[in-house]
Amino acid sequence: MRNLKEFSSDTEAVRLPPRRDVAVTSRVLAVIDHPVFQRLRRVKQLGPISLIYPGATHTRFEHSIGVYGVALEYLRALQRDPLSKSLTDADLQVCLLGALLHDLGHYPYAHNLEASHVGDIEMPRHEELAADLIFGRFKYGRAARSLASVIEAHFDVTADEVVGLIATPASSHRRPERRLVASILSSGIDADKSDYLERDAYHMGLPFGEQFDRQRMLSTLVVHPNEDRIALSMNGRMAAETFVFARYAMFSEGYWHHTARAVAAMVEEALRDVRRHRTWEQETLVERILGQDDDAFLAAMRADAPSEGAAPALLSALTGGQRKLYKRILTLTLAYSDPSLRTAYDRIYVLERQDLDLLRRELCKVIEAVIGRPLHLWELLIDTPPRDKDHVEPIDVVRDGAIEPLAQRSQIVRGIASDFVKVVKKIRVFVSPEVRAAMDAQVPRRMLERRLVETILDFRVSSSSQQQLFDRSR
């Protein structure tokens, strides 16, 4: 791994919180200084979470450099393992560039919006936009030289190789060496999680992400003897357990905090409403969001919104110095002992957008009967957690040459994996502050919750949603 020395010589240091210096060479700086990478200075790492934790205003720019630094530490740690000796200089360069550029395609509220549809437009995934930005396919950020040409002028790899590492699942790479370095960016203990857990916790003022022992993880990092990916020796078990717990706690208290989910639901509903009144091609929409920071994105939506309706009502609560956020009136999890509450959770979880809107209308009727006035549909929102996070990524440990999943040996990890789905993944029903106040003045909270649950259980879903419900129950 002689090329790792080149990433530590003739260096400058980028100083990042919390007290972490990242060494960068002149050729790495050439990538960082490109306009499409500098754009990340304007994209918040955690979007709406700064409304709950005021310190969480750090950016994707900071995180991306942090992941690069952690990936460099991972590669250095693997030098001890004989199974890593086949890694070439090109493998190392692709890994480090992939770490630096893995979030290049992020845009404001991307994690909240990229899994949703805006009218007939599917919001793009940031991994796909990264490739377009690297090759200069958008008008936005187009410079005299594309980032692809900068990469190929300063490194001994092609831009296609870097894009492939970012966009391709780790297990799908043809060469075992690329599968190994890809696992440094995407696995149960990858460099991305290692950086964002610590960094986000620091900026949010939470202790959880700073409690896992990264140095112990690094000292026990090994190559999986059978599957071309990173693992830990048995001596890293405790470090891995605290890593898994840190991620669990950060999702519970930070990323999926109820207020953050309320803001995300408000933004998504507002964008849907704007899209109903404005005709955009997908490329036009992408060009707009790439050129905006979080606040400018909301302001631009407000300017595009009609004078009345969902978008102006929702966005006025989030812009212009306002913080009038929606309030919870019902929370459902699979941890409840009452089977009717678990059934209500399952019924909502599988609903397609059309069915979800119909259910919202039925729930509005329940509230209308209580407060004595009609509700606009946008005054009630249902937030369903992302369906692609139904498990904790596996971590393997090696002992005396034998490999086994950490969850098989650790009751702690098994419990966390179970609780992540049962406890952390909540479905919430939100209403505007005015509606919540009117409800509280009329009926006890528990009584209304029961009426809402009964309405959910009586709701007749479409055949496609019914099939998903059947598949989920199998």
> Which CATH number is 71's domain given?
1.10.3210.10
Q: Does residue 289 lie in a domain region?
A: no
Q: Work out how many domains the chain is built from and give that number.
A: 2
The 3 state secondary structure assigned to the chain is CCHHHHCCCCEEEEEECCCEEEEEEHHHHHHHCCHHHHHHHHCECCHHHHHCCCCCCCEHHHHHHHHHHHHHHHHHHHCCCHHHCCCCHHHHHHHHHHHHHCCCCCCCCHHHHCCCEECCEECCCHHHHHHHHHCCCCCCCCCCCCHHHHHHHHCCCCHHHHHHHHHCCHHHCCCHHHHHHHHHHCCCCCHHHHHHHHHHHHHHCCCHHHCCCHHHHHHCEEECCCCCCEEEEHHHHHHHHHHHHHHHHHHHHHHCCHHHHHHHHHHHHHHHHHHHHCCCCHHHHHHHHHCCCHHHHHHHHHHHCCCCCHHHHHHHCCCCCCCCCCEEEEEECCCCCCHHHHHHHHHHHCCCHHHHHHHHHHHHHHHHHHHCCCCCHHHEEEECCCCCCCCCCCCEEEECCEEEEHHHHCHHHHHHHHHHHHHHCCEEEEECHHHHHHHHCCCCHHHHHHHHHHHHHHCCCCHHHHHHHHHHHC
219 in the same domain as 83: yes
Residue-averaged pLDDT of the chain: 89
Q: Does residue 286 lie in a domain region?
A: no
The 3 state secondary structure assigned to 438-457 is HHHCCCCHHHHHHHHHHHHH
Tokens 């992540």 sit at which residue? 420
124, pLDDT greater than 90: no
330 in the same domain as 218: no
pLDDT band, very low/low/confident/very high, at 321 (cuts 50, 70, 90): confident
50 in the same domain as 174: yes
150 in the same domain as 11: yes
Q: How far is the C-alpha of 164 from the C-alpha of 160, rounded, in Å?
A: 6
Token pair, residue 459, equals 């709701």
Q: Does residue 448 lie in a domain region?
A: yes
Would you call the peptide bond into 18 cis, given omega within 30 degrees of 0 as the criterion?
yes
Q: Does residue 268 lie in a domain region?
A: no
Tokens 């007290």 sit at which residue? 19
pLDDT of residue 367: 97
259, pLDDT greater than 80: yes
Q: Which residue has the higher pLDDT, 367 or 115?
A: 367
Domain range holding 380? Answer: 326-390+425-474
Residue 299 to residues 265, 272, 302, 318: CA-CA distances in angstroms?
Answer: 17, 15, 5, 9
pLDDT of residue 141: 57
* Type of residue found at 449: E
213 in the same domain as 359: no
Q: Does residue 190 lie in a domain region?
A: yes
358 in the same domain as 240: no
Cα–Cα nearest to 184, from 152, 218, 230, 225: 230
226, pLDDT greater than 90: no
pLDDT of residue 142: 63
360 in the same domain as 239: no
Q: How far is the C-alpha of 139 from the C-alpha of 249, rounded, in Å?
A: 40
236 in the same domain as 349: no
240 in the same domain as 380: no
pLDDT of residue 186: 94
243 in the same domain as 103: yes
Domain final position from 247, 263, 298: 247
pLDDT band, very low/low/confident/very high, at 442 (cuts 50, 70, 90): very high
pLDDT digits (tens, 9 = 90+) for 65-116: 999 999 999 999 999 999 899 999 999 999 999 999 999 999 998 877 775 5
Q: Does residue 55 lie in a domain region?
A: yes
233 in the same domain as 352: no
pLDDT band, very low/low/confident/very high, at 152 (cuts 50, 70, 90): very high
Domain final position from 206, 230, 247: 247
Domain final position from 247, 262, 287: 247
183 in the same domain as 38: yes
Q: How far is the C-alpha of 238 from the C-alpha of 244, rounded, in Å?
A: 10
Residue 68 to residues 21, 101, 225, 436, 448: CA-CA distances in angstroms?
Answer: 11, 9, 25, 45, 50
Q: How far is the C-alpha of 5 from the C-alpha of 79, rounded, in Å?
A: 12
Please state the φ and ψ torsions of residue 8, each to the nearest 5 degrees: -120, -5
The mean pLDDT of 218-230, rounded to a whole number, is 93
Q: Does residue 44 lie in a domain region?
A: yes
Q: How many CB atoms within 10 Å of residue 119? A: 16
pLDDT band, very low/low/confident/very high, at 386 (cuts 50, 70, 90): confident
pLDDT digits (tens, 9 = 90+) for 162-195: 999 999 888 889 999 999 999 999 999 999 999 9
Q: Which long-range contacts link 52-55 to residues 24+ away (Cβ below 8 Å)?
A: 52/257, 52/259, 52/260, 53/203, 53/204, 53/205, 53/206, 53/254, 55/203, 55/204, 55/205
In this structure, of 54-58, 286-290, 403-407, the range with the lowest mean pLDDT score is: 286-290
Q: Does residue 77 lie in a domain region?
A: yes
